[in-house]
Amino acid sequence: MVEINWPIFLTQIITFLIALPLVWTLFIKALSNTLKKRDDFIRESIDKIEKDKADIEKMKMEYEKSLKEMEQKSSSALEKAVAEGDKIKSQMTEEAHKEGAKLIDEAKHEIEVEKIRAIESVKDKIAELSIMAAEKVIRKKVGSKEQMGIIKNYLKDIEKRVN
Protein backbone atom coordinates (compact mmCIF):
# COMPACT_ATOMS: atom_id res chain seq x y z
CA MET A 1 0.00 0.00 0.00
CA VAL A 2 0.85 3.55 -0.25
CA GLU A 3 2.44 5.01 2.70
CA ILE A 4 2.30 8.71 3.42
CA ASN A 5 5.31 10.33 4.91
CA TRP A 6 3.67 12.87 7.13
CA PRO A 7 6.53 15.16 7.82
CA ILE A 8 7.28 15.55 4.08
CA PHE A 9 3.60 15.92 3.33
CA LEU A 10 3.20 18.63 5.97
CA THR A 11 6.31 20.39 4.75
CA GLN A 12 4.96 20.40 1.21
CA ILE A 13 1.60 21.77 2.32
CA ILE A 14 3.25 24.53 4.40
CA THR A 15 5.59 25.35 1.51
CA PHE A 16 2.64 25.41 -0.87
CA LEU A 17 0.62 27.70 1.41
CA ILE A 18 3.58 30.07 1.87
CA ALA A 19 4.58 29.97 -1.84
CA LEU A 20 1.05 30.49 -3.19
CA PRO A 21 0.58 34.08 -1.92
CA LEU A 22 4.20 34.85 -2.77
CA VAL A 23 3.78 33.56 -6.38
CA TRP A 24 0.40 35.29 -6.57
CA THR A 25 1.86 38.63 -5.45
CA LEU A 26 5.08 38.48 -7.41
CA PHE A 27 4.12 36.76 -10.66
CA ILE A 28 0.41 36.36 -11.27
CA LYS A 29 -0.54 39.87 -10.13
CA ALA A 30 2.24 41.38 -12.28
CA LEU A 31 1.19 39.18 -15.20
CA SER A 32 -2.43 40.22 -14.70
CA ASN A 33 -1.45 43.93 -14.70
CA THR A 34 0.61 43.46 -17.87
CA LEU A 35 -2.28 41.68 -19.59
CA LYS A 36 -4.67 44.45 -18.49
CA LYS A 37 -2.33 47.12 -19.86
CA ARG A 38 -2.01 45.17 -23.11
CA ASP A 39 -5.79 44.83 -23.33
CA ASP A 40 -6.20 48.62 -22.76
CA PHE A 41 -3.59 49.37 -25.42
CA ILE A 42 -5.35 47.11 -27.94
CA ARG A 43 -8.74 48.73 -27.18
CA GLU A 44 -7.24 52.22 -27.56
CA SER A 45 -5.63 51.18 -30.84
CA ILE A 46 -8.92 49.76 -32.12
CA ASP A 47 -10.77 52.92 -31.06
CA LYS A 48 -8.14 55.08 -32.78
CA ILE A 49 -8.38 52.97 -35.94
CA GLU A 50 -12.19 53.28 -35.90
CA LYS A 51 -11.90 57.05 -35.43
CA ASP A 52 -9.33 57.29 -38.27
CA LYS A 53 -11.58 55.15 -40.45
CA ALA A 54 -14.53 57.50 -39.76
CA ASP A 55 -12.31 60.51 -40.53
CA ILE A 56 -11.20 58.90 -43.80
CA GLU A 57 -14.82 58.18 -44.75
CA LYS A 58 -15.71 61.79 -43.97
CA MET A 59 -12.77 63.03 -46.07
CA LYS A 60 -13.81 60.69 -48.90
CA MET A 61 -17.36 62.05 -48.84
CA GLU A 62 -16.07 65.65 -48.82
CA TYR A 63 -13.75 64.82 -51.72
CA GLU A 64 -16.60 63.25 -53.73
CA LYS A 65 -18.81 66.24 -52.97
CA SER A 66 -16.03 68.60 -54.07
CA LEU A 67 -15.49 66.52 -57.20
CA LYS A 68 -19.20 66.69 -58.07
CA GLU A 69 -19.19 70.46 -57.54
CA MET A 70 -16.17 70.80 -59.84
CA GLU A 71 -17.89 68.64 -62.47
CA GLN A 72 -21.01 70.82 -62.24
CA LYS A 73 -18.93 73.99 -62.52
CA SER A 74 -16.99 72.66 -65.50
CA SER A 75 -20.23 71.50 -67.13
CA SER A 76 -21.75 74.92 -66.51
CA ALA A 77 -18.66 76.64 -67.91
CA LEU A 78 -18.75 74.40 -70.96
CA GLU A 79 -22.44 75.16 -71.53
CA LYS A 80 -21.67 78.87 -71.18
CA ALA A 81 -18.82 78.62 -73.67
CA VAL A 82 -21.01 76.74 -76.16
CA ALA A 83 -23.80 79.31 -75.77
CA GLU A 84 -21.30 82.15 -76.25
CA GLY A 85 -19.88 80.38 -79.30
CA ASP A 86 -23.37 79.98 -80.76
CA LYS A 87 -24.08 83.65 -80.07
CA ILE A 88 -20.86 84.73 -81.78
CA LYS A 89 -21.61 82.38 -84.68
CA SER A 90 -25.09 83.85 -85.16
CA GLN A 91 -23.70 87.40 -84.93
CA MET A 92 -21.04 86.62 -87.52
CA THR A 93 -23.61 84.96 -89.78
CA GLU A 94 -25.91 87.96 -89.46
CA GLU A 95 -23.04 90.34 -90.20
CA ALA A 96 -22.06 88.24 -93.22
CA HIS A 97 -25.65 88.36 -94.52
CA LYS A 98 -25.75 92.13 -94.02
CA GLU A 99 -22.39 92.55 -95.74
CA GLY A 100 -23.56 90.30 -98.60
CA ALA A 101 -26.76 92.31 -99.00
CA LYS A 102 -24.72 95.52 -98.94
CA LEU A 103 -22.37 94.18 -101.61
CA ILE A 104 -25.33 93.08 -103.74
CA ASP A 105 -26.90 96.55 -103.40
CA GLU A 106 -23.60 98.20 -104.33
CA ALA A 107 -23.24 95.87 -107.31
CA LYS A 108 -26.79 96.67 -108.43
CA HIS A 109 -26.07 100.38 -108.10
CA GLU A 110 -22.83 100.02 -110.10
CA ILE A 111 -24.67 98.02 -112.75
CA GLU A 112 -27.32 100.75 -112.94
CA VAL A 113 -24.63 103.46 -113.22
CA GLU A 114 -22.82 101.48 -115.91
CA LYS A 115 -26.12 100.91 -117.72
CA ILE A 116 -26.82 104.65 -117.68
CA ARG A 117 -23.27 105.36 -118.93
CA ALA A 118 -23.65 102.78 -121.67
CA ILE A 119 -27.02 104.24 -122.70
CA GLU A 120 -25.50 107.74 -122.72
CA SER A 121 -22.57 106.48 -124.77
CA VAL A 122 -24.92 104.78 -127.23
CA LYS A 123 -27.03 107.94 -127.38
CA ASP A 124 -23.92 109.98 -128.18
CA LYS A 125 -22.87 107.56 -130.91
CA ILE A 126 -26.39 107.47 -132.33
CA ALA A 127 -26.50 111.24 -132.24
CA GLU A 128 -23.21 111.47 -134.12
CA LEU A 129 -24.37 108.91 -136.67
CA SER A 130 -27.71 110.65 -137.02
CA ILE A 131 -26.06 113.99 -137.62
CA MET A 132 -23.72 112.53 -140.16
CA ALA A 133 -26.60 110.77 -141.91
CA ALA A 134 -28.75 113.91 -141.83
CA GLU A 135 -25.93 116.01 -143.29
CA LYS A 136 -25.46 113.56 -146.10
CA VAL A 137 -29.17 113.39 -146.83
CA ILE A 138 -29.70 117.10 -146.71
CA ARG A 139 -26.33 117.87 -148.17
CA LYS A 140 -26.15 121.09 -146.44
CA LYS A 141 -24.66 122.25 -143.24
CA VAL A 142 -27.08 122.45 -140.37
CA GLY A 143 -26.53 125.05 -137.58
CA SER A 144 -25.62 124.03 -134.03
CA LYS A 145 -29.06 125.00 -132.66
CA GLU A 146 -30.77 122.88 -135.24
CA GLN A 147 -28.37 120.02 -134.59
CA MET A 148 -29.11 120.13 -130.88
CA GLY A 149 -32.86 120.18 -131.51
CA ILE A 150 -32.63 117.20 -133.84
CA ILE A 151 -30.45 115.33 -131.33
CA LYS A 152 -32.84 116.03 -128.46
CA ASN A 153 -35.84 114.80 -130.43
CA TYR A 154 -33.98 111.72 -131.49
CA LEU A 155 -32.84 111.00 -127.94
CA LYS A 156 -36.42 111.37 -126.67
CA ASP A 157 -37.54 108.84 -129.27
CA ILE A 158 -34.77 106.45 -128.21
CA GLU A 159 -35.64 106.82 -124.52
CA LYS A 160 -39.28 106.03 -125.26
CA ARG A 161 -38.26 102.88 -127.09
CA VAL A 162 -35.79 101.77 -124.39
CA ASN A 163 -38.15 102.30 -121.48
Q: What gap in Å lies between CA 53 and CA 60, rounded to an integer?
A: 10
Q: Which residue has the higher pLDDT, 24 or 145?
A: 24
| Domain chopping of the chain, boundaries | 14-162
Q: What gap in Å lies between CA 84 and CA 76, rounded to an integer?
A: 12
**pLDDT tens digits for 32-44?**
889 999 999 999 9
Q: What gap in Å lies between CA 28 and CA 108, rounded to an integer?
A: 118
As a whole number of Å, the CA-based R_g of the chain is 62
**pLDDT tens digits for 108-124?**
999 999 988 888 888 78
Residue 138 has pLDDT above 70, yes or no: no
Residue 25: pLDDT band by 50, 70, 90 thresholds? confident
Q: What gap in Å lies between CA 45 and CA 50, rounded to an integer?
A: 9
Q: Which one-letter amino acid corresponds to residue 117?
A: R
